[in-house]
Amino acid sequence: MKDRLEQLKARQLTEDDDSEDVEIAIDNTAFMDEFFSEIEETRLNIDKISSSVEEAKKLYSIILSAPIPESKTKDDLEKLTAEIKKTANSVRNRLKSMERHIEQDEVRSSADMRIRKSQHSVLSRKFVEVMTKYNEAQVDFRERSKGRIQRQLEITGKNTTDEELEEMLESGNPAIFTSGIIDSQISKQALSEIEGRHKDIVRLESSIKELHDMFVDIAMLVENQGEMVDNIELNMMHTVDHVEKAKDETKKALKYQSQARKTLPIIPFRLPSLWQNPVDPTRVTLCTDQLVLLFLLLSRNSVQLDPHPGLDVAPNGFAERKWESIRLPLSSHPGIRPTT
């Protein structure tokens, strides 16, 4: 009796290797599932920021349209600004964390790595796009608020240049605006508006400065990724071009095929050594090589088979000799004349 110990050991080693492959596959799948979950959460946060930016724009318009905006409107804007800042910081930290993990996991499969880099780059660009819109809205609000202050000062007869107005705003002291016009006929409402606009600008500039570093950080990250993303987009464009070209070639081929069928000649064809079935004269037996030869010759002579030619190919019971049977409906294919 043979000693099968070595065979059993070899089999065990093979099973262990297979088990390791399965574990690696499962681990990689779980990792990518976690990654896509993180991507989706980040995407939702960016969408949340985008919605908040649109809401902030509405509040900016309300504040600018009212001589003395309601305190509730300003409070709502302040809360919204704080929420945008908080969510933006969370997104920035998540994107930076993804970047570090991508750099550490270069050993993973190239396909997974390309997916992760692409997803990370797309989110980074989207985040920068949203924050750019927010920054533009803030700058626009600042300029329009500054214009309101300048018009109120002109009413009092105190004309100021843009440079002088900027110096007043940078001082952070609203008394500078009113020091020279206290004794004038300016109304209390106008004076209150000037002071209120100044406070709005001061708060706004504080928010802009807080978000500046974050914006620059992510913008630089996107700039570094630009070449990779451009390459991905270029490859996608080339793929689309190839697909469109293939579609055109397919249409041409179908057109030529249709024309060829209309002028198809009847080509007599003789098959050697066919075994005719005595029970059914239309049933003949071919070996595998002869069957292959049949279709090769049909193709070479440009003989087109009908999509449903009625060819019944099936094993005939001689599996060990690899015989097959083919039913040729001779009446429907007069151009094919097999003979014994």
Does residue 179 lie within any of the structural domains? yes
**Is 260 inside any structural domain?**
no
pLDDT of residue 50 exceeding 60: yes
The count of structural domains within the chain is 2
In degrees, to the nearest 5, what angle opens at C-alpha 249 toward C-alphas 245 and 255?
150
Q: Do 160 and 292 have their domain in common?
A: no
Strands 275-276 vs 312-315: parallel, antiparallel or unpaired? unpaired
Q: With respect to residue 1, please indicate whether it lies within any of the assigned structural domains.
A: no
pLDDT category, 26, cuts 50, 70, 90? very low
User: Mean pLDDT for the chain?
Assistant: 67
In terms of domains, do 53 and 111 share one?
A: yes
Looking at the structure, tell me whether residues 291 and 231 fall in a common domain. no
Q: Are residues 206 and 115 in the same domain?
A: yes
Q: Tell me: the pLDDT tens digits for 190-234? A: 677 777 887 888 778 777 877 777 777 777 767 666 554 455 445
Q: Are residues 83 and 217 in the same domain?
A: yes
Which pLDDT belongs to residue 311? 41
Indicate if the pLDDT at residue 299 is higher than 70.
no
- Residue 197's Cβ-side half-sphere holds a number of Cα atoms within 13 Å equal to 28
pTM of the complete model: 0.55
Q: What is the pLDDT of residues 75-127, one digit of tens each?
A: 999 999 999 999 999 999 999 888 888 877 766 567 778 888 888 889 999 99
Whose tokens are 């006929």? That residue is 185
The per-residue pLDDT for 12 is: 54
- The pLDDT, as a whole number, for residue 49 is 95
pLDDT in tens, 249-269: 556 555 555 555 554 444 444
pLDDT band, residue 241 (cuts 50/70/90): low
> 136 or 281, which is more confident?
136
Structural domain boundaries, residue 141: 7-248
**pLDDT one-digit tens code per residue, 318-340:** 333 333 344 444 344 444 444 44
Cα–Cα separations (whole angstroms), residue 53 to 16, 137, 242, 250, 340: 55, 8, 40, 49, 85
Q: Is residue 257 situated within a structural domain?
A: no
Give the pLDDT band (50/70/90) at residue 180: low
